[in-house]
Amino acid sequence: MKIIVAENYKELSQKAANLISAQVILKSDSVLGLATGSTPIGIYDQLVDRYQKGDLDFSQVSTVNLDEYYGLCSTDEQSYRYYMEKYLFSKVNLSKERCFLPDGTNLDGKIECKRYQDLIDALGGIDLQLLGLGHNGHIGFNEPADFFEKEVHLVNLTEQTIQANQRFFASIEEVPKQAYTMGIGTIFQAKKILLVVNGKEKAEALKKVVQGAICSQVPGSILQLHADVTVVADKEAASLL
Ligand code: F6R
């Protein structure tokens, strides 16, 4: 694992955006694996800025998001499709036909998981996967569990994740209790992985991911075994390393 420590959130966003930009410049038809949540917002702002300056071209890029809430449709402001449209898709020249997320409105979990896994496989896998980190060490919505789920699956979110995500909703009752997520195997097949971690409250989780035992109770710890992982963390998140 390569670890880059940034002075603050702005620098973290710039450094992570540099790595994504390099990927797109070197391979114009890259398949980018994308994440939502608060951490990547600054990165997407940077990418939009670079696109507007004429430094980046997304016209041949495909994107696959890690996850989507079960039951939410794309017009729901809390859906991850809505988030991606807001922060990235509507602001750069990505082709709408090449921006993929799990379909939260497909309530048949078995069919939707297979559809999304097959879609990623058909794209030839992911060139660069962007990941955030949950307080409990989750990546995507692979929650602490007794084993690693390999493929795209429907997951029951933990109480800790539901509480952490409450900040985006009017009340805790509105937070969906399930989500579709890429599995650990899906993520692991990405050629490169970029993990971004911000803030003191993630320091413990990042320490476990980078230096702890590899175990399914800390899903991100599996990244220690991947051949090409870069972690970009701000000083506070990296403070226990
Ligand atoms: C989001 C995702 C999650 C988040 C993680 C951190 O698509 O898959 O794993 O990356 O929960 O979220 P933030 O950045 O909001 O702290």
pLDDT of residue 168: 86
Length of the chain as a residue count: 241
66 lines ligand 1 (CB under 6 A): yes
Which regions in the chain score pLDDT beneath 70?
none
pLDDT for the residue 164: 87
Q: What's the pLDDT at 167?
A: 87
Structure-block tokens of residue 29: 């038809």
Cut 0.85: pTM above it: yes
* Nearest atom within ligand 1 for CA of residue 36: 7
- Can you give the pLDDT at residue 14? 98
- Cβ(220) to ligand 1 under 6 A? no
Give the residue numbers annotated as catalytic, written as ranges: 67, 136, 138, 143
Amino acid letter, 61: V
Q: Please name the residue whose Cα sits nearest to atom 2 of ligand 1.
A: 140
Mutate to test the pocket of ligand 1, among 12, 43, 44, 66 (most ligand atoms within 8 A of CB): 66
Positions of E strands within the chain: 2-6, 31-34, 62-65, 67-69, 99-100, 128-131, 153-156, 178-181, 192-197, 229-234
Please tell me the predicted confidence (pLDDT) of residue 68: 98
pLDDT of residue 118: 97
Residue 67: which of 131, 125, 121, 126 has the closest Cα?
131
